[in-house]
Amino acid sequence: MRRAILTISLLAFSVLPTPVWAQSTESEPQPSGYGRFAWGTPASTIKKQIKGMKTFAQAEPVLSEKKALSRLYAEAKAQAKAKGKKAYRTFKKQPKPQGRISATRHWLKFNGLAGRVQMHFFDGELFEVNVHILYRRKDKKGAGQILSTLIEKYGEPTPPEDELAAKVPISKRMSLHFEMKDGDLHVLRSRARKKTRGMIRLRYRSDSLGLEVEEHLSALTDEVQILDEALAKAKKKKAAAKLTGKERLWNQL
């Protein structure tokens, strides 16, 4: 009888909940993206959730890509014309190369402070976000709460390499860097003065997609450079052919 009671007691103890201190603790997944949007989120999905998003064609990466594509297209067009009407007609039937980088812009209230949000997309997928917030001296507390929320969400920023800068309290640093699972968040700040507004700039960027964008723009830049070098060489050769014997000798000596 005593053995049966002991067995029942052991079984009862075995089904008791595991103490909190004994439970395995798993850290929360590190954020990777902007706000509630993960990197790679389609622009069409974001537009359904955010009102007032408008295309922003003046974004720096968009302009860089457009400039390179326009330069390459103009040269291809000139070469087609030089080959004759038939070649040019065939060229015109081909679709004009479209850019892979796009951008949008909209406004939001961050803890009561107006902010401009600029989103960058590669092949329609989110890879970078720039946020620009201005505030007055009376809104200093609200601006401080933005910084506190960033630290709460992304953890403490990366310590500065400079020893003196590392001794400055986080709340007083004008530049902060947060690591993400994929990418990082860079914060630049300036204090509000009596006649000057304070500023908070946030730049969120994906490492993986951001690298694809860099490689894409670099490839376009290389193509333009090769084209320019070839044209410059051809121009120089053409000019040299027009020189007289005396002029050619003059340049050689």
Pull the structure tokens for residue 14: 């075995």
pLDDT in tens, 72-97: 999 899 888 888 888 888 888 888 88
| Of the candidate ranges 78-87, 122-131, 236-245, the one whose mean pLDDT is the lowest | 236-245
Contact predicate 67/225, CB 8 Å: no
Instruction: Show the 3-state SS of the chain.
Output: CHHHHHHHHHHHHHCCCCCHHHCCCCCCCCCCEECCEECCCEHHHHHHHCCCCEECCCCHHHHHHHHHHHHHHHHHHHHHHHCCHHHHHHHHHCCCCCCCEEEEEEEEEECCEEEEEEEEEECCEEEEEEEEEEECHHHHHHHHHHHHHHHHHHCCCCCCCCHHHHHCCHHHCCEEEEEECCEEEEEEEECCCCCCCEEEEEEEECHHHHHHHHHHHHHHHHHHHHHHHHHHHHHHHHHHHCCCHHHHHHHHC
Instruction: Work out the burial of residue 204: count CB atoms within 10 Å of its CB; fewer than 13 is exposed, 13-18 middle, 19 or more buried.
Output: buried
For range 188-212, the mean pLDDT: 94
Residue 71 has pLDDT above 90, yes or no: yes
For range 98-124, the mean pLDDT: 96
For range 192-214, the mean pLDDT: 95
For range 186-215, the mean pLDDT: 95
The set of residues, in sequence order, having a beta carbon less than 8 Å from that of 33 and lying 6+ positions away, is 39, 41, 126, 180, 182, 204, 206
Q: What is the spatial distance between Cα 150 and Cα 143, in angstroms, rounded to a whole number?
A: 11
Pull the structure tokens for residue 148: 């506190």
The set of residues, in sequence order, having a beta carbon less than 8 Å from that of 44 and lying 6+ positions away, is 124
Which amino acid, one-letter code, is at 144? G
Q: How confident is the model at residue 24 (pLDDT cuts 50, 70, 90)?
A: very low
Q: Is the residue at 240 inside a domain?
A: no
Contact predicate 150/189, CB 8 Å: no
Q: How confident is the model at residue 30 (pLDDT cuts 50, 70, 90)?
A: low
Q: Is the residue at 63 inside a domain?
A: yes
pLDDT in tens, 206-221: 999 999 999 999 999 9
For range 124-134, the mean pLDDT: 97
Q: Is the residue at 221 inside a domain?
A: no
pLDDT at 29: 52
Which backbone phi and psi does 232 adopt, to 5 degrees? Answer: -65, -40
Domain count, the chain: 1
Percent of the chain having pLDDT more than 70? 85
Q: Is the residue at 245 inside a domain?
A: no
Q: Is the residue at 43 inside a domain?
A: yes
- Tokens 């946030």 map to which residue? 202
Q: Is the residue at 50 inside a domain?
A: yes
Q: Is the residue at 131 inside a domain?
A: yes
Range of the domain at 52: 33-212
